[in-house]
Amino acid sequence: MNKEVERKRGPHRRMWGEVTGVEEERVDEILELIWTLREKGVSDLDQLLETTPDAEANYILRLMIKDGLFQVDGNRMVLKERGEEKAREIIRRHRLTERLLSEIFEMSEEEVEEEACKLEHILSPGVTESVCTFLGHPPTCIHGKPIPRGECCTKFKKEMKPLVIPLEELGLGEEGRIVFITPKSHQRLDRLSTLGIVPGSVIRIHQKNPSHVLQIGETFLALDKDIVKDIYVKKV
């Protein structure tokens, strides 16, 4: 049996549906792979089979088709409603966990990936929503890939005080460490980078009107509001 598959299963195995011998985690992994391949513009079944480490993927895929999770049109994979929702939640849990472990626990990228692969299978919906709210509803994972929105993002519920907030919510004189930036273009991101506005930088608010005056180290910068709203920070 493939060692990578065995490593991800762990000691507690949940069985999928009524099928004996197939762990739910293995189905999750294949759904996650279908989603990530689709993000790259790949929907080819043969490509999935070449990419997955699960030696029994062909067998599991047939069972997933029978269970109504996805269908194959020619050689093109198409997630059905149940499969789409299940894959979406797996991706959401994984990418939120990446943010949590990286930004809060400051774990290495290798450790983050290993632990996120475990936690994506066990986080409850309630815990997932709490993590998202705690992090300030981040739009992307640590690799810049989109995090699917949840109910908490849509309704902007804040049962917990978010740890990560928009820069514009900092008060005058307050400092924040930049966690992520969501610019509308690569050109804007490049411009911000040349100014020293990058994740990890500590920024202080000196003025908000008519424009934002910010301090990074010994440098003072004036930025328009539409740029500032793309910057998210953690108070320091």
User: What digits encode the pLDDT tens for the residues 123-139?
Assistant: 999 999 999 988 888 89
Instruction: For residue 189, count CB atoms less than 10 angstroms from its CB and return exposed for 0-12, middle for 13-18, buried for 19 or more.
Output: middle
CATH code given to domain 90-155: 1.10.10.10
CB atoms within 10 A of CB 58: 11
Phi and psi at residue 135, to the nearest 5°:
-85, -5
Cβ-proximal residues to 165 (8 Å cutoff; 6+ apart), any chain: 136, 176, 232, 233, 234, 235
User: What's the mean pLDDT in 5-20?
Assistant: 47
Domain extents for the chain? 3-79, 90-155, 164-235
pLDDT per residue as tens digits for the range 33-84? 999 999 999 999 999 999 999 999 999 999 999 999 999 998 999 999 999 9
* CATH architecture, range 164-235: Roll (2.30)
